[in-house]
Structures are given as C-alpha cells and as structure tokens.
Homo-oligomer: A and B are copies of this chain.
Amino acid sequence: MPMKKKRMTGRERKAQIVKAASLLFSKKGFKGTSTREIAKAAGISEATIFKHFSRKDELYSAIIDTCCNDDEGRYHLMKSIEGKEGREFFKGVAAYFIERFDEDPGFARLLMFGALEGRRFTDIFMKSRGMDTVDLLAGHIKGLMRAGVFKRRDPELSARAFLGMVLHYCTAQEIYGFKRFFDRPPRKVAATFVDIFFNGMEKETGP
C-alpha cells in the first residue's frame, strides 16, 4: 500500500475530518465520541482537528451544513418517483426509504442521536427535509382527492400515516434490530404498505 502521506489543503482536510466525525457520531453519538478517536480515524493529531475546528461542537455544525446542502438524497427520491402516478408513486417512495435505510442506516442514527442529545441538527433537518417530504406526499394525495380517487381527509396527516408505516418499519428493522427475528422481502413490504394505504384512502366503489 503506497499510502501517500499528508499535507492536504485546509478544505480537503476539513472535509476528511467531518467525514470521519460523522461516521463516529452516527455509531456512538456526539458525547460517546472523543476527539482523540476522531483524530485517530482521520490519521492526524488531535491538535490538527482544533486547527480546523475551534470546538468539537463545530464538527456537528459542519455536518449539518454538509447534509442540508447535499441534494443527493432529494435527487434520488425525485428520480425514484418521477413520472409515476397512483400506486406506483407510493411504491417509489416506499422503495426509496427502504433502500436508503438498508444501505446507510448511519444517517438515520445520526438524526436519532441528534434528536436525543438535543442538538439543533435534527431540528433543522426535520423542519426542512421532513416537512418537505410530508408536503410532497400531501400534494400528491390532494391531487388524487381532487380527481375523486381518494376520499377527502386531512392530506398531511394521511401523508404521515404512509410515511409512518414505512419509516417505522425501516427504523425498527435496522436500528431496533427487528430484522434478526422478523424479515420480509422489501418488495413485499412496500407492496403491502402501499396496498393498505391506497385501498384505505380510496373512495368506496360501491354499487
């Protein structure tokens, strides 16, 4: 392994430290992670961390910025629903979250830790991205109500019902460890949830 050594530009080093920190924070929380560990993970001295970030807390702020200005997630969500209508739209949303959780539970852990430890991180993220997602679903739901497909109901609350099914399932599987004793194929999960939700929202098609 050639392992070319150090001397990065400030920006590179900062990014690298944030990356190492967010990985550790997601695993062990802010309080549970020492600056020493972060330094070791980044392969630098502790002092270097404090050259770039004047307090440990600033690492958290930097993570917020990175995540909130990172549109990759939003982009993927948009990709996985674009052009889709009706049941397919909801399947797209469900599939997106199930996939994301599975490939990177770290981010969800970071959010949870943030919420529990009372940092602003989760607050800011939830208020912007969380509500955005609710509104996105609610918008679609309103459309289906206007089209006479769905019964009229509180659209935001309905959106949260659907998101709740999906997100709680993912959280329980990955973070509470349910997957060790409860497992179903992801496609089946998505299909079942969409089915329950869509049928539940539809107008009765009685005689």
Contacts and interface: CB of A to CB of B under 8 A. Distances in A.
Contacts of A157: 184, 188-189, 192
Contacts of A182: 131, 134, 156, 160
A204 B205 contact: yes
Main secondary structure of the interface of A (DSSP, over half): helix
Interface in A149-206: 153-154, 156-158, 160-169, 171-172, 175-178, 181-182, 184, 188-189, 192-193, 195-202, 204-206
Copies of chain A in the complex: 2
A122 interface: yes
Contacts of A197: 196, 200
Interface residues on A, range: 35 or more
Contact of A31 (B31, B156, B165, B178): B31
A147 interface: no
Contact of A200 (B111, B115, B178, B199): B199
A158 B195 CA distance: 10
Contacts of A31: 28-29, 31-32
A175 to B, nearest CB: 5
Contacts of A199: 199-202, 204
A29 B164 contact: no
B200 A130 contact: no
Looking at A134, A158, A198, A200, which has the most chain B CB atoms within 10 Å of its CB? Answer: A200
Nearest to A202: B199
Contact of A161 (B153, B193, B205): B193
Interface of A: 28-29, 31-32, 109, 111-113, 115-117, 122-123, 126-127, 130-131, 134, 153-154, 156-158, 160-169, 171-172, 175-178, 181-182, 184, 188-189, 192-193, 195-202, 204-207
10 contacts: A28-B117, A29-B31, A32-B117, A112-B112, A113-B116, A122-B177, A131-B181, A158-B192, A167-B168, A207-B207
